[in-house]
Amino acid sequence: MCLILLAIESHPRFPLVIAANRDEFHDRPSLPAAFWRENEQVWGGRDLRSGGSWLAVTRAGRLAMVTNVREGIRESRGRSRGELVRRFALSDLGPADWLRERRAEAGDYPGFNLITGVCGGDLCYWSNRGRIVPERISSGIHGLSNGRLDAS
C-alpha cells in the first residue's frame, strides 16, 4: 500500500513535512529520487516503464505526489498516473488551476489520488474516484493511502 503523511503548518521550524513510500509491483523498473536528467530543476523518483513519478519536487517548491486507488483488479488500462506528477512538476500553473484543467482527463486514468502544491502555499487534493472536485488541504496532520484523503 502506498502511503503519504503530511504535516502542514504543524511544526515550528518546518511548514511542510512529508513522509511517503512507494509500494508498487516489485518487477516494475524504477529509479530512486534524484534530479532528473531532462530537467535538473525537478527531484523525484522515476518510473522507467512510463516515465512518470510518484513524488516530485522542483527547486522552486512545486510538488506533486500520487497514490493508486485500489479497485479490486490490477489496473493496466489507461494512462500512467505518474504522468500527472511529472506534468504538474513541469507546469507553471498554480495547483488548483492545474487540477481543474485536468478534470476532463479524469477518466483516462485508472483510480488515483493526487496532491499538488507549492511549498509555503496551497496544497490541493484531487481524486478521480468519488468527488472529483479539487479541494484545498487544510493545516494539520493528514494521511493518504489507497482510499480517500484522511479516510478512517
How many domains are contained in the chain? 1
Residue at 90 is within a domain? yes
Residue 75's pLDDT band (cuts 50, 70, 90):
low
CA angle 119, 85, 144 (to 5 degrees): 70
Residue at 19 is within a domain? yes
Residue 138 has pLDDT above 90, yes or no: yes
CATH number at residue 32: 3.60.60.10
User: How much is the mean pLDDT over the chain?
Assistant: 91
Output the pLDDT for position 23.
74
Residue 71 and residue 130 in contact, taking contact as beta carbons nearer than 8 Å: no
Residue at 140 is within a domain? yes
Output the pLDDT for position 10.
95
Residues in contact with 12: Cβ distance below 8 Å, sequence separation at least 6, in sequence order: none
Q: How far apart are CA 12 and CA 56, in angstroms?
A: 24
How far out from the chain centre does Cα 90 lie? 13
**Domain coverage including residue 92:** 3-144
Side-chain half-sphere of 139: how many Cα atoms within 13 Å? 8
Residue at 93 is within a domain? yes
SS3 16: strand
The C-alpha cell at 56 is 516530485
What is the mean pLDDT of the segment spanning 52-66?
A: 96
Q: How far apart are CA 129 and CA 29, in angstroms?
A: 27
Residue at 151 is within a domain? no
Q: How far apart are CA 67 and CA 113, in angstroms?
A: 5
Residue at 113 is within a domain? yes
Residue at 149 is within a domain? no
Output the pLDDT for position 112.
94
Residue at 152 is within a domain? no
